């Protein structure tokens, strides 16, 4: 019994550490993407990224594609729509704000999820939800309002806030539909949906780069292969060794890594006021997860 316990504990530690690596990869992609946008349009970048991610997922999990059904395709397209909203507003927003701020504002999706559940179920939010929303709102204000400006969010911060709503609705509807389908198959449809739509929009509205710089190539590889395909496959394989709550808490470190990446590689600095606001958002994310009941959803950035 003791040996079995130690083996299970070891697997759980490996799973949790793997999720910490995923959170790190997701966090640094903010500064990676922001850097790439100097050389390529946001829609073309997303289109190429997600189509490559789909191809990698298809090659590594071809057997799961045999389980594709019409219902999987239709549900995947609906989820893909919310994912499209999340990633497009996040990526365009990154052109006008810092990767540090974008990471924490995106993390607000975790706080928005229970609010959306309350609205869908036509119930008043409980006291925990109200507290976390108030905490997150104060944090957003302190993080995003520069100096003594009281007029509102900056343009880029506002776009990323819309992205947070997109990701929150994605999490809610993943909870409704994903358990009815093969997880790899339905995720592949979402990724393909985002890739095709973004590529079409990019080809119409943006100029194809005369050449792909090393910066763009590296960014596409990191985001499509590691941050999308392999991250999802890793989560899908290791989730059975841990719990959704543990995974979700570990993944809240994503904006922390985004801020660290912005500081180390993007020369971004947060003022004491902004740091305090970021801390409040991080705290609201953790509290929201730990007080959530009857929900086994893990935030997934496919």
- Burial-class residue 286 by CB neighbours within 10 Å (0-12, 13-18, 19+): middle
Residue 128: predicted pLDDT: 84
In a domain, 2, yes or no: no
In a domain, 296, yes or no: no
In a domain, 132, yes or no: yes
Contacts of 209 by beta carbon, 8 Å cutoff, 6+ apart:
39, 40, 44, 216
Q: Using alpha carbons only, give the angle 93, 99, 102 rounded to the nearest 5 degrees.
A: 55
Tokens matching residue 81: 């729509």
**Helices and strands (H and E) in the chain: how many:** 14, 0
- Burial-class residue 160 by CB neighbours within 10 Å (0-12, 13-18, 19+): buried
**Residue 213 φ/ψ region, left for φ over 0, alpha for ψ in the -120 to 50 degree band, beta for the rest:** beta
Residue 301: predicted pLDDT: 62
- Burial-class residue 263 by CB neighbours within 10 Å (0-12, 13-18, 19+): middle
Residue 14: predicted pLDDT: 82
Q: Do 298 and 120 form a contact (C-beta atoms < 8 A)?
A: no
In a domain, 300, yes or no: no
In a domain, 191, yes or no: yes
In a domain, 255, yes or no: yes
Residue 9: predicted pLDDT: 53
In a domain, 8, yes or no: no
Q: What burial letters (b/e) apply to 23-45, b meaning 16+ CB within 10 Å?
A: bbbbbbbbbbbbbbbebbbbbbb
**pLDDT tens-place values along the chain, 302 residues long:** 443 433 455 777 888 888 899 999 999 999 999 999 999 999 999 999 999 999 999 888 878 777 678 888 899 999 999 999 999 999 999 999 999 999 999 999 999 998 998 888 888 888 888 889 999 999 998 888 765 444 457 889 999 999 999 999 998 998 888 778 888 888 899 999 999 999 999 999 999 999 999 999 999 999 999 999 988 888 877 777 777 777 888 888 999 999 999 888 878 888 888 889 999 999 999 988 888 755 555 565 66
Q: Using alpha carbons only, give the angle 65, 68, 71 rounded to the nearest 5 degrees.
A: 155
Q: Quote the CA–CA distance of 121 and 140 in Å, as a whole number.
A: 26
Task: Give me the number of domains the chain comprises.
Answer: 1
Residue 299: predicted pLDDT: 61
Instruction: From 181, 221, 223, 184, select the one nearest 57 (Cα to Cα).
Output: 184
Q: Quote the CA–CA distance of 108 and 234 in Å, as a whole number.
A: 24
Residue 298: predicted pLDDT: 57
Q: Quote the CA–CA distance of 95 and 233 in Å, as a whole number.
A: 29
Range of the domain at 186: 17-290
Distances (CA, A) of 182 to 52, 231, 235, 239, 269: 21, 17, 14, 15, 43
Residue 302: predicted pLDDT: 63
In a domain, 7, yes or no: no
């Amino acid at each position: 019994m003791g040996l079995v316990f130690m083996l299970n504990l070891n697997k759980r530690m490996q799973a949790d550490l793997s999720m910490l690596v995923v959170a790190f990869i997701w966090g640094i992609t903010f500064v990676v993407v922001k850097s790439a946008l100097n050389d390529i349009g946001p829609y073309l970048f997303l289109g190429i990224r997600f189509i490559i991610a789909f191809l990698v997922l298809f090659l590594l999990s071809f057997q799961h594609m045999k389980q594709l059904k019409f219902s999987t395709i239709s549900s995947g397209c609906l989820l893909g729509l919310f994912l499209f909203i999340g990633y497009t507003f996040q990526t365009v927003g990154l052109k006008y704000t810092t990767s540090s701020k974008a990471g924490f504002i995106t993390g607000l999706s975790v706080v928005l999820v229970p609010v959306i559940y309350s609205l869908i179920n036509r119930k008043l939010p409980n006291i925990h939800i109200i507290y976390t929303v108030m905490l997150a709102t104060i944090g957003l204000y302190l993080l995003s309002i520069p100096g003594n400006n009281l007029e509102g969010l900056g343009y880029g911060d506002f776009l990323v806030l819309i992205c947070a709503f997109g990701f929150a609705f994605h999490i809610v509807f993943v909870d409704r539909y994903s358990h009815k389908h093969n997880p790899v198959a339905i995720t592949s449809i979402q990724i393909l949906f985002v890739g095709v739509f973004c590529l079409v929009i990019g080809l119409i509205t943006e100029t194809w780069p005369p050449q792909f710089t090393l910066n763009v190539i590296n960014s596409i590889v990191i985001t499509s292969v590691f941050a999308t395909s392999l991250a999802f496959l890793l989560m899908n394989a290791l989730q059975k060794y841990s719990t959704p709550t543990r995974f979700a808490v570990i993944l809240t470190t994503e904006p922390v890594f985004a801020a660290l990446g912005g500081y180390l590689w993007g020369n971004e600095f947060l003022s004491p006021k902004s740091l305090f606001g970021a801390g409040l958002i991080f705290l609201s994310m953790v509290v929201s997860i730990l007080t959530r009941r009857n929900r086994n959803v893990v935030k997934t950035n496919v």
